[in-house]
Structure 1
Amino acid sequence: MRIKDQISLRKIADEYIMIVGTEDSLDYTQAVSLNDSAAYLIESVRDEDFTSEDWVDLLTERYEVSREQATADVESLIRMLQEAKVIG
């Protein structure tokens, strides 16, 4: 998997907002709200291919979370990002 190049990630207060872009501009009607850990995962693999296992490893290394919980969280995040057409 790979995060599309046309996204902008901004922190607003305690939340991250990701704006999904088209080929030549950002589409502000496609905003996705992210928590700290989701933003961390996206930033960690920006511009490179990754697997869901890579994200599970990143979560378990950074946060005190079980592998099972990290796997469930990653699967949920991937589904959300696929629906938003952020993962290519």
Structure 2
Amino acid sequence: MKIKKGFKLRNVCGEHVIVAEGIENVDFTNIISMNESSAYLWNNIAELDYFDENILSNLLTEEYSVTAETALNDSKKIIQDWFKAGIIEE
């Protein structure tokens, strides 16, 4: 998977929000807000050509006090959420 071109994480009034850069990505019906851990993941994969649930899981276990199983389950869920939001692609 990879982040779709044109999506950037910005801090807007203290909130982590994904914004679309370029008219082809604009969808004002869906604002994507991220918590601290999802913003941490996004920032760490933003420059990668590819990521998967294992990469996200490793990032989570390095940064937070979570088990490998919890990190992997959370990684799978966030990938599903990001696909649904249309901000990542295969």
Structure 2 residue aligned with 1:46? 46
Change (3 A) 1:33 1:68: same
CA distance in 1, matches of 2:19, 2:12: 12
Q: Give the ranges of 4+ consecutive aligned residues of structure 1 lying more than 4 Å apart after TM superposition.
A: none
CA distance in 2, matches of 1:56, 1:66: 9
Aligned pair count reads 86
**RMSD of equivalent CA atoms:** 1.7
Structure 1 residue aligned with 2:88? 87
Residues 9 and 42, structure 2, Cα contact 8 Å, conserved in 1: no
**Greater fraction helix:** 2
Structure 1 residue aligned with 2:12? 12
Name structure 2 gaps, 5 residues minimum.
none
Structure 2 residue aligned with 1:27? 26
Structure 2 residue aligned with 1:37? 37
Residues 2 and 87, structure 1, Cα contact 8 Å, conserved in 2: yes
Q: What percent identity do the matched residue pairs reach?
A: 29
Q: Normalising to structure 1: TM-score of the pair?
A: 0.84
Name structure 1 gaps, 5 residues minimum.
none
Q: Normalising to structure 2: TM-score of the pair?
A: 0.82
